[in-house]
Structures are given as C-alpha cells and as structure tokens.
Amino acid sequence: MMANKSVRVNGHNHDIPDVWYARRLIDFLRTKLGLTGVKDGCSEGDCGACTVLVDGQPMCSCLLLSGVVEGREITTVEGLQKDHLERFSCACEKHGGVQCGFCTGGMAVMSSWIKDGGTETGVEPVSKLVAGNICRCGGYQQLTKAIVEVG
C-alpha cells in the first residue's frame, strides 16, 4: 500500500491525489484547494503573480509540479499573517500601490518574506528583491514604498 502523498498549505495538511501529482502546483492550489489569491499571470515564471513560499522561500507556483512539494510547507497570500496583510493593504492604499490588484498577492508574499529577513545578505534594495514580480499597471514605485513601510 502506498503512503499518502501530502503537502502542508497555510498550516493545514492536504493529500495530493495521484491525478494532481504531476500537475502544476498553481493548479492544485487554485482548483483543488480553492486558494484563488495565487494568480496565473504568465505560466512561465516571469511575472510573480503566482509567488508562494515553499519552506519559507519565494517560488513561482506555475513552475512547480505538485509532487515536487510533497512533504513541504507552502504559504500562499491567504496564509500570511493577518496583521501583515492589514499593514500591507494600508500601506498600498496610502502610497497608491494597488490599481488592478492582479500582482498584489505575489507582492504581499514577497513583502512578508522581506519583512521576515528572507534576503541572503540583507542589503539588497527592495526594488531588486521584487524585480521578478511584474505590475502591469506600472505601480512599482508605489508598491516598493508600501513594502518598505511594512518591512
């Protein structure tokens, strides 16, 4: 008998059914678990809208197969600490950092990672750290200000 394949998402264990094992993590999160804050912007890992934390490290969920994250801890925007999300939301509003909102989930995940000291050297500017997250509305400066404020 095969052992259950599972992943921990936002603090809860979830089985990964065999049919999902070789499918993209973003599809598993959105379709199977209903976590629609993870957006599929490009399906190529270029836009950052699908950014999640895998064992505390930011990764594009559109590039990962569900089976690759077996036994690991995934945090989506829905699993971020509520106080961080509230502060990030207020800072975005204050600095005009939200327009269409498509990039916001990935930016919030990056903001949380940066706040928690997720950089290797700790000296990279925020603008460099979120360079992999595309804001199609052009709100980089405003979002960077918001991230720095909650950092």
Longest dimension (CA), the chain: 55
111 and 89 both lie in a single domain? yes
Does 98 reside within a domain?
Answer: yes
Q: Does one domain contain both 68 and 29? A: yes
Across the range 2-20, mean pLDDT stands at 91
Instruction: Tell which of 53, 76, 99 closes a domain.
Output: 76
d(CA 98, CA 143): 8
- Residue 96 has a pLDDT of 92
Task: Give me the pLDDT at residue 1, please.
Answer: 42
**pLDDT for the residue 2:** 54
pLDDT in tens, 83-119: 999 999 999 999 998 888 899 999 999 999 999 887 6
| Whether 106 and 66 share a structural domain | no
The mean pLDDT value for 11-31 works out to: 96
Domain total for the chain? 2
Question: What is the percent of the chain where pLDDT is above 70?
Answer: 95
C-beta pairs of 108-111 under 8 Å, 24+ apart in sequence: 108/77, 108/80, 108/84, 109/51, 109/52, 109/53, 109/58, 109/75, 109/76, 109/77, 109/80, 110/48, 110/51, 110/58, 110/147, 111/84, 111/146, 111/147, 111/150, 111/151
- Same domain? For 17 and 33 the reply is yes
Task: Tell me the percentage of the chain whose pLDDT exceeds 90.
Answer: 77
Task: Name the phi and psi angles at 71, rounded to 5.
Answer: 80, 5
Structural domain range at position 123? 80-150
Window from 47-51, 80-84, 94-98 with minimum mean pLDDT? 94-98
Side chain identity, residue 21: Y
pTM above threshold 0.95: no
In a domain, 69, yes or no: yes
- Asked if the structure places residue 1 within a domain, the reply is no
User: Are 84 and 58 contained in the same domain?
Assistant: no
Query: Do 100 and 126 fall within a single domain?
Result: yes
Q: Are 29 and 54 in the same domain?
A: yes
Rounded to whole angstroms, how far apart are CA atoms 116 and 15? 28
